[in-house]
Amino acid sequence: MKKILAIGLLVPVLVMGYVYVFVYNKSHTDYANTDPEFELKAETLYNSFTDSNDSKKYLGKVIMISGVVSSVESTDSTAVVSINFEEGMFGTQGVRCNMLSPYVLMKPGTEILVKGLCSGYNDTDVLLEYCTIKKY
């Protein structure tokens, strides 16, 4: 009887513990160690948002892109590597890669392979976040 009572108490506690740790407090995805689902040119990615309706498959996915760095800027929280393709009403437009590390030493003109999470397009740029450089 005692055994049944103990198990009857233990099981709900374990379930609640599991839910708390693995569901409610589940950790953010480790994007640096996630394999990319797609590999493509930065320009193809940009055009998929601006010219074609091909962009949905990249949204919310970890992807790897290749391209030539146009600029590197530091913001308060991160470094942003931009690969630009055109001039819009409010400046350059292209792919903006928010780097995981704020320390990015890279010159414009460098060819890079960068991996990150594609968060979408804000009518000027395609945004990649949690980015890591794979090759340059």
Binding site for other proteins (CB under 8 A): 23-29, 59-60, 73, 75-78, 80, 89-91, 96, 98, 119-125, 127, 129
- Judged by CB, which is closer to other proteins: 55, or 66? 55
Q: Rounded to the nearest whole angstrom, what is the least distance from the CB of residue 121 to other proteins in the complex?
A: 7
Among candidates 75, 108, 105, 106, which has minimal Cα distance to 94? 108
Residue 32 tokens read as: 């640096």
Q: Which is nearer to other proteins, 64 or 95 (CB)?
A: 95
Smallest distance, other proteins to C-beta of residue 8, A: 25
Provide the minimum distance between the beta carbon of 93 and other proteins in the complex, in angstroms, as a whole number: 10
Closest approach, Cβ 52 to other proteins, in A, equals 16
Long-range contacts of 98-102 (CB under 8 A, 24+ apart): 98/127, 98/128, 98/129, 98/130, 98/131, 99/131, 99/132, 99/133, 100/31, 100/32, 100/130, 100/131, 100/132, 101/132, 102/74, 102/77, 102/78
- Measured from the CB atom, the residue of 90 and 103 that comes closer to other proteins is 90
Residue number, 58 or 64, with CB nearest to other proteins: 58
